[in-house]
Amino acid sequence: MTSYPFWLGGVAASLAASCTHPLDLAKVRMQTLSPTIAARPSTFSTIKYAIRESGVRSLYTGLSASLMRQMSYSLVRIGTYESLKSRMSQDGNKPTAARLLLAACLAGALGGLAGNPADIILVRMTSDSVRPPDQRYGYRNAIAGLASLIRDEGAKGLARGLGTNTARAVLMNASQVGSYDVFKGFLLSRNIPFTNSKFKDSFGLHVAASTLAGTFATTVCSPADVLRSRVMSSSCNSGILEILKSSLREEGPRFLFKGWTPAFIRLAPNTVLLFVFYEQIKLAWAKTMTS
């Protein structure tokens, strides 16, 4: 089994995030809007409003934080998962789906811990324009935001929303990265619809497995994602239980799936791009090593 550098997953995730960042921005803004707003905006109207108010470039507000997040959170979660999967395959046997999902959960927890500060900066930068002017953070970029977070809130600030974020990271890695391998293995054992030929480990298989993984991950992660965004965007010391209770009281349980559509529109192509980029980078690396 070919051994790949730990950082390959972070590079693939950064490439994917660069393509889907406007959808991530729309998702966070929809999740953090005040519940007192009567007309809930759609994904399209959120993006349209951002362009009208601040121009097309505003759709990439917070991109530096997104890249920082991918090179911490995704680098650790994917790199650790691949390392664990490689260890489990050393005896020549393919690991079971249960063991793959368990490895993905552990790797996701580590990724959530590593990427929490960058996640805070990303949520704040992408949601800044929907906050009252006197409550905006005004971070110029991810580095400036990180310095400001440490200066204003100290070490405690770096851990804001850590529990929610780690729970989300566990769910995300299991439902996205872990399920990708499960779906990929399942499809390899089946025939292509309406044909008598089996799936091969190819571009088409990567797209099909990653689309299924993206749909599954969006649904599983939505409640934790909404809570994470609300905790991290808050400038007060409201705890997750307080935010959960007030949101349930004011909006009902449906709030847990608020932003599902932009989350899916973002996560489905993001998952496809992530694994297509990752598979191609691994293939290029393997060719480089054998040449």
Question: Of the segments 30-34, 101-105, 262-266, which one has the largest average pLDDT value?
Answer: 101-105
pLDDT greater at residue 266 or residue 210: 210
Find the mean pLDDT for residues 81-86: 92
Note the pLDDT of residue 244: 84
3 is a domain residue: no
Q: How far apart are CA 111 and CA 31, in angstroms?
A: 22
188: its two tokens = 């390899």
Residue 165, token pair as written in the block: 């974020």
- 38 vs 279: which has the higher pLDDT: 279
Percent of the chain scoring above 90 in pLDDT:
44
Among candidate residues 153, 165, 154, the one with its CA nearest the CA of residue 235: 153
Of 224, 279, 290, give the one whose Cα is nearest residue 15. 279
Count, residues in the chain: 291
Tally of structural domains, the chain: 1
Query: How far are the Cα atoms of 12, 200, 280 from residue 187, in angstroms, in the given order?
Result: 23, 9, 19
Residue 225's pLDDT is 80
pLDDT given for residue 141 in this prediction: 94
Cα 124 to the center of its chain, rounded Å: 16
Query: Span 52-66, mean pLDDT?
Result: 89
In a domain, 212, yes or no: yes
Q: What is the per-residue pLDDT for 12?
A: 96
Instruction: Choose the weakest-confidence range: 14-18, 26-30, 187-191, 275-279.
Output: 26-30
Contact 8/28 with Cβ under 8 angstroms? Answer: no
What's the pLDDT at 237? 63
Residue 7, pLDDT above cutoff 60: yes
Radius of gyration of the chain from its Cα atoms, rounded to whole angstroms: 20
pLDDT digits (tens, 9 = 90+) for 169-221: 998 999 999 999 999 989 998 887 767 788 888 898 999 999 999 999 998 88
* Structure confidence by residue, pLDDT tens digits, 124-179: 998 888 788 888 899 999 999 999 999 999 988 999 889 888 988 998 999 999 99
CB-based burial of residue 163 (10 Å sphere; 0-12 exposed, 13-18 middle, 19+ buried)? middle
Q: What is the CATH number of the domain that holds 47?
A: 1.50.40.10
**Greater model confidence, 39 or 33:** 33
- pLDDT of 194 reads 67
Residue 31 lies in a domain: yes
Give the 3-state secondary structure of residue 140: coil
Mean pLDDT value of segment 15-19: 93
The reply to whether 1 falls in a domain is no
Specify if 130 maps to a domain.
yes
How many Å apart are CA 186 and CA 180, to the nearest integer? 10
What pLDDT does residue 264 have? 86
Cα–Cα distance, 61 to 57 (Å, whole number): 7
- What local confidence, expressed as pLDDT, does residue 40 receive? 61
Confidence band of 38 (pLDDT split at 50, 70, 90)? very low
In a domain, 207, yes or no: yes
Give which of 80, 74, 79 is closest to 13, Cα–Cα: 74
161 contacts 116 by C-beta, under 8 angstroms: yes
Q: For the segment 224-261, what is each residue's pLDDT rounded down to a tens digit?
A: 888 877 777 765 666 778 888 888 888 888 888 887 88
How deeply is 133 buried, as exposed, middle or buried, from its count of CB atoms within 10 A (0-12, 13-18, 19+)?
Answer: exposed
Does residue 2 lie within any of the structural domains?
no
What residues make up the domain containing 16? 8-290
Res 229: pLDDT: 76
- Residue 124 placed within a domain: yes
Q: Is the dihedral of CA 181, 105, 120, 75 positive or negative?
A: negative
Average pLDDT of the chain is 87
